[in-house]
Structure 1
Amino acid sequence: MNAEVRYVVGDATAPVGGGPRVIAHVCNDTGGWGRGFVTALSQRWRAPEAAYRSWYRERDRPGNDFGLGAVQLVEVGEGLWVANMIGQHGIARPGRRDVPIRYDAVDAALRESARHCVRLGASVHMPRIGCGLAGGSWDRIEPLLTTRFTGRGVPVTVYDIPAAGSAA
């Protein structure tokens, strides 16, 4: 059963629809949290940031899988989770020539997130992951969503923020 990628204007931290839902987003591998979509997550819930920071701090402990391509699922409400996906190496800095996005890591994280969604019977909701501060291209991300989610019957909703001065 194939699902679809649906585009809406709205807030990805307030996912539309019913049933179990997973909000997916891309994190860096440096332990940094404070710019981009994560600020909206932190305004709504404390748990995703706290879990990410702990996951990073304890990255050298046995059994901790923190690193590129890893996923941390954090429950933030009944039937609602945030997937912290490590898909960027470092952070964007002035003068840095390469972009932080790592498409292979994003693909691995999406594959793991899709497993969680199938297990939970959940839809997945996200901004245009990896295309803001990580410097990625939506033309490279969107096909990964089709391969990892919709081909497995997991509906995907992508949220674009409203244009300045317009109502959502």
Structure 2
Amino acid sequence: MTSAIRYLKGDASSPQAKGPKVIAHVCNDLGGWGKGFVLALSKRWPEPEAAYRRWHRERAGNDFGLGAMQLVQVEREVWVANLVGQRGIRTGRSSGVPVRYEAIDRALDRLAGPVLDLGASVHLPRIGCGLAGGRWERIEPLLLDRLAGRGIEVTVYDFD
């Protein structure tokens, strides 16, 4: 299968493309924000963290949970997509990994419509594969199916 995903060396928080762009990343379901790729996002814009924390705090009255997606505009043509695809966080005592592939799949499915409406491209690190402990062989087909397969340009960044 030929990959419709473009791979670049660089920082996904500085997307290399013209036009509307969505930076997607995976969040946990605990309301925790403070390790991994989110630090790069927070260094550039305060809005994604503030929106995520508010979304979690007010979860009794909204859709926050595994598989949910929140789109936060940070510049005229840049949005950040908070995808809840991680159950908890990895601790020294925990067994298994926090990544939840079905939740990432659902969140990417929810992301596709708004991205198509915006006419945007999607930019991301290897979501779910850092602190969440996931395997890229399981994530890449989700991106191909949910985004690239619908004609959305997807760029994955490998940070040096």
- If the length of structure 1 is used for normalisation, what is the TM-score? 0.93
Q: Does structure 1 residue 121 correspond to structure 2 residue 119?
A: yes
Task: Work out the CA distance in 1 between the residues paired with 2:39 and 2:59.
Answer: 23
Alignment of 1:22-61 (within 5 A): 22-61=22-61
Shift of 1:116: 1.3
Q: Which stretch of the first structure deviates more once superposed, 36-45 or 2-11?
A: 2-11
Task: Work out the CA distance in 2 between the residues paired with 1:50 and 1:129.
Answer: 20
Moved over 6 A (4+): none
Shift of 1:130: 0.2
AA partner of residue 120 (structure 1) = L
Match of 2:20 in 1: 20
1:43-70 Cα deviation digits (max 9, x unpaired): 0000000000000000012xx1000000
Show structure 2 runs of 5+ residues with no match.
Answer: none
Match of 2:131 in 1: 133
Superposition RMSD on alpha carbons, in Å? 1.2
Residues 3 and 155 of structure 1 are in contact (CA less than 8 Å); yes or no, is this contact kept in structure 2?
no
2:84 aligns to what SS in structure 1? Answer: strand
Give me the identity figure in percent: 62
Match of 1:96 in 2: 94
Q: Aligned residues, how many?
A: 159
AA partner of residue 119 (structure 1) = D
Show structure 1 runs of 5+ residues with no match.
Answer: 163-168
Task: Work out the CA distance in 2 between the residues paired with 1:12 and 1:44.
Answer: 12
Match of 1:165 in 2: none
Shift of 1:97: 1.0
Task: Work out the CA distance in 1 between the residues paired with 2:130 and 2:154.
Answer: 19
The counterpart of 2:159, out of the listed 144, 153, 161, is 161
Shift of 1:3: 8.4
1:60 aligns to what SS in structure 2? Answer: helix
Residues 74 and 81 of structure 1 are in contact (CA less than 8 Å); yes or no, is this contact kept in structure 2?
yes
Residues 3 and 153 of structure 1 are in contact (CA less than 8 Å); yes or no, is this contact kept in structure 2?
no
Match of 1:146 in 2: 144
